[in-house]
Structure 1
Amino acid sequence: MLATRLTLICHAVTPLQKQGRFCDDEAVVMDWQGAALSLAGRYKKPHRLLCAPEVRAHQTAQLFGADAVVEDALRDGDVGQWKGQQIAQLESDLLGAWLADSSSAPHGGESVDQLCARVGQWMTSLESQPGHIVAITHPFVIRAAVLHVMQFPVSMFYRIDVEPLSATELRFNTVWRLRLETDMAKSTPRNESNP
């Protein structure tokens, strides 16, 4: 049986993230030329390139190829009325309820439970699709995918940090696994005589 390799890449940072706000459908902030050069050839072909429907995901996907296919299951968690809002200025009782209860959606959007179920269903559909999939998506989606693979309770959702442009490697070969990789070129100490 051939394995499924899923590389989840978090979109680049956005202006609203830098301001401590919930994302809306905004563009990313980055040095495109420098990023494209540093990411060029990161993943060898053949692979399927997928991205979430939001602008920030589609722009980030362009760093990995021009042939990204939009996958709705990769869309960001819907925070309803909180889109674009500064997190520190939200009503603390509502924010606290949302953080404490994964089934709540005081913003009128999607609950964490609903998000995790959506991502889990999509990942189950990938189990019969061998090959390498590179998917550009959002921190919430990547958190949900890690919970699914590790079979963690949803209460662990907010204990997973996902940085912009980070890559999370997941593999399926009869069972899902989280794969931690190193870039040996970066981690190998330099010889003093050979800089």
Structure 2
Amino acid sequence: MPATRLTLICHARTAAQKQARLPLDEALEMDWQAQALSRATAFKPGLRVLCGPELRTRQTATLFCAEPQVQEALRDCGLGLWQGLSIKQLQAREPQALQAWLADPHLAPPQGESVAQLCQRVAQWLQDMATRPGHWLAVTHPFVMRAALLQVLQAPLASFNLLDIEPLARLDLSHAGRWRLRLLESPAPG
């Protein structure tokens, strides 16, 4: 079977990220285009582009192609009633619930999705992508990228909160029998 190459890119920065708020379906910051456009030029025209359904992923994906294919499996982790709240607000209102959620990947925010459920969803999506040869680019969220890394590295769920994914970060994977992390050469400084 021909190989699958999958490049995951985190959406560009939002105001929620700057303010340490759990995201809603907000637009990107005003200055995101120039920064993201420089990343987009590294990819070949005609690349098959997927994205999550949220506005921030769709906006970022349009830098790579005019009509990205929205995939529900790439949606952000469902944070339920905590969506839109800042970490400070949660620490003040529900400190025990927040700490329990951060410590136990099987706990979900009220009316939300647990990290374990997210990781299951992403594992299923990766399994499906393994049957789709060629190079794919998927614009998604930090939580989804963390879940993909755990799956590929077969790391325990407890490792989830040890990973930081910055806006526009890139994760390269390949599949030829099994998923592998691809570390790419970076351009020389200066």
Structure 1-normalised TM-score?
0.91
Residue 72 in structure 1 maps to residue 72 in structure 2 = yes
> How far is the alpha carbon of 1:40 from its aligned partner?
4.1
Q: Which of 96, 99, 102 is the aligned partner of 1:93?
A: 96
Deviations 1:80-127 (A, max 9, x none): 001100112211100011011111113220001100000000000111
Alignment of 1:106-121 (within 5 A): 106-121=109-124
Q: Matches of residues 126-165 of structure 1 in structure 2 within 5 Å?
A: 126-165=129-168
Deviation at 1:39, TM superposition (A): 3.0
Q: In the TM superposition, what is the alpha-carbon distance from 1:73 to its structure 2 partner?
A: 0.2
Q: Distance in 2 between matches of 1:148 and 1:36?
A: 27
Which stretch shows the higher mean deviation, 37-46 or 86-95?
Answer: 37-46
Give the AA of the match of 1:153: P
Deviation of the 1:31 alpha carbon: 2.5
Letter in 2 for 1:131: G
Question: Which protein shows a greater Rg?
Answer: 1
The size of the alignment, in residue pairs, is: 187
- Displacement of 1:65 in angstroms is 1.5
- Structure 2 distance, partners of 1:37, 1:8, is 16
Q: By how many angstroms is 1:54 displaced?
A: 0.2
Task: Give unmatched runs, 5+ long, in structure 2.
Answer: none
Structure 1 residues 39 and 68, CA gap change in structure 2 (3 angstroms): same
Report if the CA contact (8 A) 1:11-1:60 is conserved: yes
Give the letter for the 1:61 counterpart: A
Query: Percent of counterpart pairs with the same letter?
Result: 52
> Where does structure 1 lack aligned partners over 5 or more consecutive residues?
191-195
Aligned to 2:182: 179
Distance 1:48 1:170 in 2: 15
Query: Closer, same or farther in 2 for the Cα pair 1:38/1:5, shift >3 Å?
Result: same
Structure 1 pair 33–13 and aligned structure 2 pair: CA distance change class (3 A): closer
State how far apart, in whole Å, the 2-side matches of 1:100 and 1:33 are: 36
Q: Give the counterpart letter for 1:86 in structure 2.
A: S
RMSD: 1.4
